[in-house]
Amino acid sequence: MVTQVHVNKSDIGKAELAELATETLADSAVRLAIESFSVTANNVTYAVVGDGFGYWNFFPAPDGKGIVPMWGHARVVESNHPDIAVGERVYGYLPMASHLDVLPGKVSTGGFTDMAEHRQPMSPIYNQYSRLAADPEHDPAREGERMIFGPLFKTGFLIEYFMRSEDWFGASQVILTSASSKTAMGLASVAKHRSPQVRRIGLTSAGNVDFVKESGLYDEVLAYDDVGSIAASPSVSVDFAGNSGLLKSMHTHLGEALKYSCLVGVTHIDERAGGTEDIPGPTPTLFFAPDHAVALFKNVGPEEAGKMLAESWHAFLADAGDSVTIERRQGLAAARDVFVEMVGGTVDPAKGIVIEP
């Protein structure tokens, strides 16, 4: 049997377990048993924007239902592919489920791409799997951190690369909302090391101010109610919260000092409505990480991009790798419950949750 977590696409706070019969493995396909994955605010974003960005299309579900993608580790339990052996482990994009069948192509010692037809319209970044035996990023002692921080860190890395490529739009400071989120922390770390001349201001809920301050990643940390105390210096904002009221108050306060407004993800799900109409200053622009990843690899080449990422990843682990306590939970029922908690915004940012199906 295959177990999956099905989320109600019209009300993502509702989710249920579904049992499906195991099908015969296709020619040249590989069956993965999912060993572990993290559940973070990133996964909530996948669900919120699922139809608009195709996130529901990676792992098909019955009408009205969706399977939320996760980042994690899996083991080959059955193989019809001559180059991939039973027992080897991989890291990549996985469903909230017990198993996944993939059709490996572009196989190398370091990884492969799932060539399943339904996945081809989506960004190739999400279809690549690393073979852990030859993966330079893999550290058996840091698997939890990689699942929790890895994809979010990479988004933060790409935002910094984009901003630096644009000379930070002439700004002397960057304002990050939802500063306790893992993507914001990733961006703050990369900027700290690669763009130290840009001041980093973190905005967060009052209850998270101490946690964010203790991270040491920001030059200044403010509660959301204190937006009015931000210095009106040339600024860029990176909004991870998706709270249209907060975004408007930042734009209004900074006025012409705000040189660029970047939107990334949604962590305050109940306040995402309202749009960005009638907001003064620059038009908020959505950041889609896969497109920027393709641009990075094209600009500097895969080898240099990999080197830059690895260097910043290790710096981030030194900065913030221990800021989160990893909590492991067993079973897909736990995955369902944690996801619903994430949707409700009730998970402590100092916890990193790993599910072992």
Q: Domains of the chain: which residue ranges?
A: 2-138+325-356, 152-290
* Residue bearing the bigger pLDDT, 349 or 298: 298
What's the first-to-final CA gap in the chain, in angstroms?
A: 13
From the list 172, 177, 210, the residue with the least C-alpha distance to 191 is 172
Average pLDDT, the chain: 90
Cα gap 36→147, rounded to integer Å = 9
Domain 2-138+325-356 has CATH 3.90.180.10: yes
Q: What is the structure's pLDDT at 266? A: 53
Is residue 287 predicted with pLDDT exceeding 70?
yes
Total Cβ atoms within 10 A of residue 99: 20
CB 159 within 8 A of CB 191: no
Q: What is the structure's pLDDT at 87? A: 98
CB 155 within 8 A of CB 167: no
CATH H superfamily, domain 152-290: NAD(P)-binding Rossmann-like Domain (3.40.50.720)
pTM value is 0.77
* Residue bearing the bigger pLDDT, 288 or 215: 215
* Residue bearing the bigger pLDDT, 332 or 342: 332
pLDDT digits (tens, 9 = 90+) for 247-282: 999 999 999 999 999 998 654 444 444 455 678 889
Is residue 29 predicted with pLDDT exceeding 70?
yes
pLDDT digits (tens, 9 = 90+) for 99-127: 999 999 999 988 999 999 999 998 888 89
